[in-house]
Amino acid sequence: MSDPQHSAGARARLLLSAPDRPGLVAAVAEFVYRHGGDVTQADQHNDEEEGMFFQRVEFRLEGFRLSRAQLADAFAELAGPMRMTWSLRYSDEDRRVAVLVSRQAHCLVDLLGRWHSHELPGRAVLVASNHPDHEALVGHFGLPYHHLPVSAADRPEQESALLSVLEQAGVELVVMARYMQILSGRVIDRYPSRIINIHHSFLPAFQGGQPYRQAFSRGVKLIGATAHYATADLDEGPIIDQDTARVTHRDGVADLARTGRDLETVVLARAVRLHLTDRVLVHGHKTIVF
């Protein structure tokens, strides 16, 4: 019997990786079908060099004969013998996002605008910043604004405050929307593959500070932006998306920064969307983006 819990239109999304072996595709497809699901999208990737298999399966829940709890249990039974690493999410979950920001507000404004007009999945539940500047703006969108100034001395205290704010709000994804502070391993380990940062260069070019200044000095003809998961190694996290734009000798550092802001905004929003539609699978320090 269909679980009344499954709202009309809701879909399950399965992300999995496993050592490759024949029958994986069939086993998953058969599992979904046997319980009354209807696969609406399935993508797979076989890394033949590493012998790994990755898959994203999305299926309709109308008519599905297992509850969500049963589904997880049943799939665990299938997954175990096949040594799958997997996660199961639902399109109708309430996915709570925190945005961290410093002085520059372009990414913040863009993201809040997108959530406001229902262009992005998930929803922002709070904004935290080491600057007080954006309190009024954020208030206008009806969100709490946590001003958490950071100095060398009180970084640990502020990170504790930040962690507590995130936890109380039930945040599952943290977006560093040009947040110019480095998060310590303590924060990063609490949100593995769940903190997205936008770096204002085409990584791995111009790591570290002032990438537009570096790009200007090097005389590049393209600048870039990179959205990646934050890891302990700064600027080395798994890349989710990147883009570039053409510049010329006429562009000073300020022009590069201005052109770059449009790139950062769009690339970060794309990465947040990919994450919240469960399209990103992290494997080692790389991503598979379905």
Q: Which residues are catalytic?
A: 235
* Stretch of residues binding its own copies (CB under 8 A), selected from 35-43, 159-167, 171-179, 187-195: 35-43
Return the residue of 52, 109, 148, 161 that touches its own copies, per CB under 8 A.
Answer: 109
Strands (E) located in the chain: 11-19, 38-47, 52-60, 85-90, 96-101, 123-129, 145-147, 173-176, 195-199, 222-229, 239-246, 280-283, 286-289
Quick one: tokens of 7?
């709202």
**Residue 107's closest CA among 178, 37, 59, 172?**
178
Return the residue of 56, 95, 224, 272 that touches its own copies, per CB under 8 A.
Answer: 224
Are residues 95 and 123 in contact, defined by beta-carbon separation less than 8 angstroms? yes
Binding mask 245-284 for its own copies (x = CB under 8 A): -x-xxx-x-----x--xx---x--x---------------
Task: In whole angstroms, give the CA distance from residue 32 to residue 75.
Answer: 9
Return the residue of 14, 239, 256, 276 that touches its own copies, per CB under 8 A.
Answer: 239
Q: Given the complex with its own copies, which of 23 and 185 has the nearer CB atom?
A: 23
Which residue shows structure tokens 């699978």?
A: 281
Are residues 98 and 161 in contact, defined by beta-carbon separation less than 8 angstroms? no
Are residues 30 and 42 in contact, defined by beta-carbon separation less than 8 angstroms? no
Return the residue of 65, 68, 89, 106 that touches its own copies, per CB under 8 A.
Answer: 106
Task: Output the CA angle 32-84-239, nearest 5 degrees.
Answer: 105
Return the residue of 46, 158, 181, 210 that touches its own copies, per CB under 8 A.
Answer: 46
Interaction of residue 244 with its own copies, rule CB under 8 A: yes
Interaction of residue 75 with its own copies, rule CB under 8 A: no
* Stretch of residues binding its own copies (CB under 8 A), selected from 10-18, 23-31, 94-102, 182-190: 23-31
Q: Which of residues 152-211 bind its own copies (CB under 8 A)?
A: 202-206
Interaction of residue 218 with its own copies, rule CB under 8 A: yes
CB 152, min distance to its own copies, A: 29
Q: Given the complex with its own copies, which of 67 and 207 has the nearer CB atom?
A: 207
**Residue 201's closest CA among 220, 181, 223?**
223
- Rounded to 5 degrees, φ, ψ at 49 are -65, -45
Interaction of residue 30 with its own copies, rule CB under 8 A: yes
Task: In whole angstroms, give the CA distance from residue 110 to residue 245.
Answer: 19
3-state secondary structure of 93: coil
Q: Which of residues 113-142 bind its own copies (CB under 8 A)?
A: 113, 117, 119, 140
Chain positions contacting its own copies, by CB under 8 A = 22-26, 28-30, 32-34, 36-46, 48-49, 105-106, 109-110, 113, 117, 119, 140, 202-206, 218-222, 224, 238-244, 246, 248-250, 252, 258, 261-262, 266, 269, 285-289
